[in-house]
Amino acid sequence: MIPIALDELGSEQPLRLAPRAGRALNSSGVVEARPDLADAGLWWVQAAGMVGVARIADVEIWVRPKVPIERLFFLLGYAKNPLGWRDETLDVEVRDDLVPALAQALGRQSERALQQGLLQGYRVCEEAAPVLRGRLRETDQLRRRFGMPLPIEVRYDEFTVDISENQLLRAAAERMLRVPRVDVAARRRLRHVLSRLADASGLVRGQPLPTWQPSRLNARYHSALRLAELVLRGTSVDHTPGTVAVNGFLLAMPRLFEDFVTVALTEELRQYGGRADKPMVFLDDDRLVRMIPDLVWWRNGTPTAVIDAKYKAEKPAGFPDADLYQVLAYCTALNLPRGHLVYARGNEQPARYVVRHCGIEIVCHALDLDRPPPVLLEQVRHVAREIADVRVGLVLPPLRR
């Protein structure tokens, strides 16, 4: 196994690889890899927006996030159920790396959920039984038994621990134990959780995750279940013929930042009335060119503002201002005089641009993810005030034409 450590926003790192391994890295989507033109055995590898750890071919890749681990957990609280588990996920011991911290958090939250015993619930069961239990499935009885009295096709509700909540916790613990670089203490905790959940069924690979609904009855499970879903989605990779197998745990930072910005701004904009959502809009009159902005704020059924979140400024060759073009298209389609871009500070700086001949203004905001959560949320409030055109106490970024 060949190890390599990368920084999320760091420069390329040289690595000697066989051609097959280099091509596997390049096509994985986890990192960017290119061969050196002067040295056939040398490849230059760089992170591609993912953080975590993964094994690809014979290479173990460790991508360290730029954001501190405790801050990353705060952002994760906005990825799912924004009002349900933010404070809980912050209650973890500090670790230097993402995967050990997440494994430790999953173990602690699962143990906390199981302190009062395993949650039980009703599950619908259908089986052939020697005696009548519950209700007779008449159609199945006639089709399968051809008039024979036994066995009997029945359907009944069973009160059991083999329910979705316990299945998710078990699957997440099993999956995390297969992730590289999980420390010994976290592994011990996760194995203890697995022993408690032995009577819950394992999940079938390729099948959708079991669904569950937050309620008063399963309240003590909520935080652990949110982490479990995060683990299962972060370690699940759909493999189709011809694709590269990726094993590990990975988080897409652009998606995580987008979730944080849209959810946090939606909450802050509520005080100004209206609603915020993520609709589909059309650029042309024939409704052929579809676009989906990250967030549109509506008042009285009319779009008032459009917001796009970008973790990192996109500057592909030939299009140095692709993000600005995208927001300009949103403003044109929604007939808005102003659009907003929200970046992570360090990847882009605050600025304002006024488009020639049409007067559309594009305001670029920057959130400093290195700041403590209260300060970061205050920055979000400032962005919401400007979106709502409440400019008291605000200093706008310099105008660029």
pLDDT of the residue at 296: 95
Q: Examine the pLDDT at 90 and tell me if it is beyond 70.
A: no
146-193, pLDDT tens digit by residue? 767 788 888 877 788 989 999 999 999 998 898 887 888 889 999 999
pLDDT at 396: 47
The confidence band for 314, taking pLDDT boundaries of 50, 70 and 90, is: low
CATH 3.90.1570 is held by the domain 254-400: yes
* pLDDT at residue 401, as a whole number: 45
Q: Averaged over 276-301, what is the pLDDT?
A: 92
Q: What share of the chain in percent tops pLDDT 90?
A: 35
Residue with the bigger pLDDT between 128 and 337: it is 337
What is the reported pLDDT for 320? 53
Asked if the model's pLDDT at residue 244 lies above 70, the reply is no
Considering the chain, what percentage of its residues have pLDDT values greater than 70?
Answer: 86
d(CA 392, CA 175) in angstroms, rounded, equals 50
Residue 180: per-residue pLDDT: 80
| Whether pLDDT at 238 is above 50 | no
Strands 13-16, 2-7: pairing is: unpaired
pTM: 0.74
Residues composing the chain: 401
> What is the reported pLDDT for 390?
53
Beta strands across the sheet bearing 2-7: 2-7, 59-64, 50-56, 246-252
Question: pLDDT at residue 240 above 70?
Answer: no
Q: Is the pLDDT of residue 340 over 80?
A: yes
Residue 347 has pLDDT above 80, yes or no: no
pLDDT at 139 over 90: no
Dig out the tokens for 395 from the structure: 């200093």
Predicted pLDDT at 315:
59
Domain with CATH 3.90.1570 in the chain: 254-400
- Predicted local distance difference test score (pLDDT) of residue 154: 80
394 has pLDDT over 80: no
Q: What tens digit of pLDDT does each residue of 216-233 get?
A: 889 899 888 888 888 888
Among 259-268, 279-288, 293-302, 349-358, the minimum mean pLDDT is found in 349-358
Tens of pLDDT, residue by residue over 55-77, are 888 888 888 888 888 788 788 77
> Mean pLDDT of all residues in the chain?
83
Cβ density class 250-266: b for 16+ within 10 Å, e for less: bbbbeebbbbbbbbbbb
Check residue 239 and give its pLDDT: 39
Over residues 15-56, the pLDDT tens digits come to 999 888 888 888 888 889 999 988 988 999 999 888 888 888
Residue 93 pLDDT class (50, 70, 90 cuts)? very low
Q: With a cut of 70, say whether residue 374 has pLDDT above it.
A: yes
Q: Is the peptide bond before 151 cis (omega within 30 degrees of 0)?
A: yes
CA distances for 245 relative to 17, 22, 61, 158, 270, angstroms:
17, 14, 13, 39, 43
For residue 391, pLDDT over 60 is answered with no
**CA–CA distances in Å: residue 329 to residues 173, 181, 339, 355:** 45, 44, 10, 12
Long-range CB contacts (< 8 A, 24+ apart) of 128-135? 128/152, 128/153, 128/154, 129/154
Over residues 313-325, the mean pLDDT reads 69
